[in-house]
Amino acid sequence: MNRNTIPIGTLVLFGLFLLVMLATWLLVKPPPAPPELAGVLRPQYQLIAPFELTDHHQRRFDENNLQGKWSLVFFGYLSCPDVCPLTLNELKRFWRLLQDDPDLRTDNLQILFVSVDPARDSPQALASYIKHFNPEFTAATAPKAQIDNLANQFGAGYLIEAETAPGQYLVAHTSAIFLVDPLGRSVATFSQPHYAATLAEQYRKIIRYFSAAGLVDARSKSFGPKSGVVTPVRLFPLLACPDKIGGDQYQIDDEADSKESNRRFMPCGHRANLTRFSVAHLLLTHEN
């Protein structure tokens, strides 16, 4: 009697394929979040695609600098009369709150201020500006094409307005703060108003959620002792496209630099390139 049999090798390969697909799905689709984080965590995590900035030390800052630690990213410009200095001041107070918290660390956190006004904001000017808030913060900028590349990935819009005098103009820009996890994924958005205590509490809850859900590796946990050796393993490519928060609309604070702040929405001109893929990394922890 003839029997239809499936080679064991085929079964093994199929099982590995399913495992890789499951791991890939888990990287972009997070488990259910606590209700208090609804509206803060993104519905899908977006891996930040390659970009290149120049920081205030005149060094390259790219997607690799977002790996292995948490990052808070804020877009603005040095001539901003209110939103930028107020937000950076709250981030300075937020940083101090973390340093006073015995359960949290700042050695695995960075704060990145991205200037969307490269015509006026040189690395030297950024260095002088950012040190007034915290010398551990990073300020960076780039030519417009590179700024747009990064801003589009977060859904961070900006609009350079008409000059009121030679070299004098305002920039309407997103006032949100974006959180990137140690895998280099945009995972949360903090909208205005920004208060240091609220940011610290939400950040604390996000870290705990990621730790409990196993969404961070041993090296980047903000709670508990360090342990384990982490090995990056390349997985099935993930489509790098905007999600419904980051790509379908820009949230811009129009008139943000005047007396009143009114929020408007600008259609996103950036659409997913279905032929472009980014490779995600799964971090596997091996106990010593």
pLDDT at site 162: 95
Domains parsed from the chain with CATH numbers: 35-225+242-273 (3.40.30.10)
The pLDDT tens digits for 201-224 are 999 999 989 888 776 653 454 544
Tell me the pLDDT of the chain averaged across its residues.
76
Q: How confident is the model at residue 244 (pLDDT cuts 50, 70, 90)?
A: very low
Q: Could you give the count of Cα atoms lying within 13 Å of 160 in the half-sphere of its Cβ?
A: 14
Q: Judge if pTM exceeds 0.75.
A: no
Cβ pair 44, 149 in contact under 8 A: no
Cβ pair 49, 153 in contact under 8 A: yes
pLDDT at site 62: 97
Strand-pair partners of 111: 72
The pLDDT tens digits for 133-160 are 999 999 999 999 999 999 999 999 999 9
Strand-pair partners of 171: 160
Rounded CA-CA distance 165/72 in Å is 34
Rounded CA-CA distance 150/156 in Å is 8
3-state secondary structure the chain: CCCCCCCHHHHHHHHHHHHHHHHHHHHHCCCCCCHHHCCCEEEEEEECCCCEEEECCCCEEEHHHHECCEEEEEEECCCCCCHHHHHHHHHHHHHHHHHHCCCCCCCCEEEEEEECCCCCCCHHHHHHHHCCCCCCCEEEECCHHHHHHHHHHHCCCEEECCCCECCECCEEECCCEEEECCECEEEEEECCCCCHHHHHHHHHHHHHHHHHCCCCCCCCCCCCCCCCEEEEEECCCEECCCCCCCCCEEEEEECCCCCCCEEEEEECCCCCCCCCEECCEEEEEECC
The pLDDT tens digits for 176-204 are 999 999 999 999 999 999 999 999 999 99
Rounded CA-CA distance 250/173 in Å is 9
Decide the pairing of beta strands 70-76 and 177-180.
antiparallel
pLDDT at site 22: 63
Q: Which one-letter amino acid corresponds to residue 96? A: R
